[in-house]
């Protein structure tokens, strides 16, 4: 299936019109699209569900949409699950749950495709746990010359190392194989907390159980803390009553929050009072449910996001300074700041590569200028070697990113080998990776 179309991402800040769009149904059709583009000197971007805020998936010429390439290939007895690249995470979670398996860790939402999420280093929280790419065991990539390359720790290991977080710059992913684990439940404990206390005991709090995070409401000292503890399914589930889930997660977290954001847009001066109101809305609650239902939430209010990964010990000082900036009224931020952690991993372009990591994510409503708020985070994170999420807004280029990733050149060497003509590129990749071969 081919055609010409326009495209926009989830947040609406990346758009393009009049690009050629291909919907391949198998590896041969992906290969044909790549070879055709290469012969015509055109550039290709594969796309998932368009949830990246950066222009990483914005096509210059040809867009390859994997929505017809989204089936389960198989699950073996050890929990190795293989899926086609366009499968959304929520469907993968359902397929796994139906067979008694779970992914080890997930981010906040499950609307991304598995390949899109892997390609930008999507992560959740957990001091002992890595992002989604640490669960990856094998990939099949369609290369720009149309050949199919399988890679894993045993087969083409140097390609596998780079392609675990490949930015869609090494090939179009045909299938991915992830290691699932026996299904488990999470006991969720959520409740209000004070920023000062969380920062004073930051390491202790963030490592106090399996998956810990908090949201801080700028202009206040108030936070919403979330602690999720892994428990066996055999202990039984005590999910939130349906009315409470709808009221708190749909009405308060989405509908009321949308109203607060809209009011802040009309009257920016009211944002600090609105933030205090928003932070007071969510009280303590505890429940136990299947892991994928606890990890993810619905995000209906559209926003723009910047997220920096910093050495874990540096996070409290950055948050303290952001608190000062918000208090001084230098910027009015209606959205909470999200704070998470991850274990060090060994993936060249992972934001947690080689170091214990804390993530600090700032948000502003869609169609708002993030101006000084994002600039302050970017500057402070930069002072401590911060690495931006590949799918979230940042202003860095290849020269700076090379200094933040000790294995940057290892990645670009694999890219130059697999895609010497730069078929899998766009203006954004030129900026963050440099032209092919540099």
d(CA 96, CA 174): 20
Which residue ranges make up the site for ligand FAD (CB under 6 A)?
10, 45-52, 56-57, 66, 85, 107-109, 112-113, 115-117, 119-120, 122-123, 167-168, 172-173, 299, 389, 391
Closest CA to 290 of 180, 181, 187: 187
d(CA 37, CA 21): 11
Closest CA to 352 of 161, 131, 178, 137: 131
The number of helices, as runs of H, and strands, as runs of E, in the chain is 15, 19
User: DSSP string covering 1-21, please?
Assistant: -EEEEEEE-TTSS-EEEEEEE
Residue placing its CB nearer to ligand FAD in the complex, 48 or 272: 48
The residue written with tokens 């694999």 in the block is: 414
Residue placing its CB nearer to ligand FAD in the complex, 163 or 223: 163
Closest CA to 293 of 110, 51, 116, 75: 110
Residue placing its CB nearer to ligand FAD in the complex, 8 or 324: 8
From the CB of 127, what's the least distance to ligand FAD, in Å? 16
d(CA 67, CA 291): 26
Token output for 281 = 């809305």
From the CB of 3, what's the least distance to ligand FAD, in Å? 18
Token output for 199 = 């920062």
From the CB of 340, what's the least distance to ligand FAD, in Å? 8
From the CB of 308, what's the least distance to ligand FAD, in Å? 12
CA 364, distance to chain mean position in Å, is 17
From the CB of 73, what's the least distance to ligand FAD, in Å? 14
How many beta carbons lie within 10 A of that of residue 255, not counting itself?
12
From the CB of 89, what's the least distance to ligand FAD, in Å? 8
Residue 247, Cβ density class (10 Å: 0-12 exposed, 13-18 middle, ≥19 buried): middle
Show the CA angle centred on residue 71, arms to residues 120 and 61, nearest 5°: 50
Q: Using an 8 Å Cβ cutoff, are 307 and 389 in contact?
A: yes
The residue written with tokens 């889930």 in the block is: 245
d(CA 19, CA 217): 40
Residue placing its CB nearer to ligand FAD in the complex, 49 or 353: 49
From the CB of 426, what's the least distance to ligand FAD, in Å? 8
Residue placing its CB nearer to ligand FAD in the complex, 158 or 330: 158
From the CB of 303, what's the least distance to ligand FAD, in Å? 7
From the CB of 123, what's the least distance to ligand FAD, in Å? 4
Residue placing its CB nearer to ligand FAD in the complex, 332 or 428: 428
Residue placing its CB nearer to ligand FAD in the complex, 172 or 223: 172
From the CB of 189, what's the least distance to ligand FAD, in Å? 19
Is residue 372 classed as helix, strand or coil in its secondary structure?
A: helix
Please, where are the H alpha helices in 281-334?
A: 291-295, 315-327
Residue 185's beta-bridge partner residues?
231, 290
CA 5, distance to chain mean position in Å, is 26
Residue placing its CB nearer to ligand FAD in the complex, 162 or 172: 172
Residue placing its CB nearer to ligand FAD in the complex, 56 or 75: 56
Residue placing its CB nearer to ligand FAD in the complex, 117 or 278: 117
């Amino acid at each position: 299936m081919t055609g010409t179309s326009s495209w926009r991402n989830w947040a609406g800040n990346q758009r393009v019109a009049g690009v050629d769009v291909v919907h391949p149904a198998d590896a041969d059709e992906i290969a044909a699209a790549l070879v055709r583009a290469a012969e015509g000197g055109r550039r290709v971007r594969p796309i998932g569900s368009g949830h990246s805020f950066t222009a990483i998936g914005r096509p210059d010429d040809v867009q390859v949409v994997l929505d017809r390439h989204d089936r389960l290939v198989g699950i073996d007895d050890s929990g190795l699950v293989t899926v086609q690249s366009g499968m959304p995470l929520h469907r993968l979670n359902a397929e796994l749950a139906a067979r008694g398996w779970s992914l080890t860790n997930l981010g906040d939402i499950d609307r991304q495709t598995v390949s899109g999420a892997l390609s930008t280093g999507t992560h959740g929280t957990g001091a002992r746990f890595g992002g989604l790419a640490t669960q990856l065991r094998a990939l099949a990539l369609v290369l720009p010359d149309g050949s199919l390359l399988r890679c894993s720790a045993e087969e083409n290991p140097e390609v596998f190392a780079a392609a675990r977080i490949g930015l869609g710059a090494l090939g179009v992913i045909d299938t991915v194989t992830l290691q699932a684990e026996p299904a488990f439940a999470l006991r969720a404990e959520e409740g209000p907390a004070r920023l000062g206390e969380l920062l004073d005991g930051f390491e202790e709090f963030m490592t106090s159980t399996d998956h810990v995070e908090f949201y801080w409401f700028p202009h206040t000292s108030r936070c919403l803390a979330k602690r999720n503890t892994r428990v066996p399914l055999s202990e039984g589930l005590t999910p939130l009553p349906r009315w409470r889930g709808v009221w708190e997660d749909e009405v308060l977290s989405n509908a009321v929050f949308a109203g607060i954001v809209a009011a802040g847009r009309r009257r920016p001066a009211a944002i600090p009072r609105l933030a205090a109101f928003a932070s007071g809305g969510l009280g303590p609650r505890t429940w136990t449910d299947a892991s994928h239902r606890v990890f993810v939430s619905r995000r209906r209010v559209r926003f723009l996001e910047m997220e920096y990964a910093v050495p874990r010990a540096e996070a409290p000082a950055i948050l303290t300074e952001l608190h000062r900036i918000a208090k001084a009224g230098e910027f009015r931020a209606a959205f909470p700041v999200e704070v998470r952690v991850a274990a060090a991993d060994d993936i060249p372009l992972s934001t947690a590569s080689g170091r214990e990591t804390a993530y600090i994510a700032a948000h502003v409503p869609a169609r708002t200028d993030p101006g000084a708020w994002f600039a302050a985070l970017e500057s402070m994170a930069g002072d401590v070697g911060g690495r931006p999420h590949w799918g979230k807004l940042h202003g860095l280029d290849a020269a700076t990113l090379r200094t933040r990733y000790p294995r940057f050149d290892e990645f670009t060497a694999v890219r130059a080998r697999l895609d010497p003509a730069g078929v899998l590129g766009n203006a954004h990749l030129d900026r963050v990776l440099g032209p092919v071969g540099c």
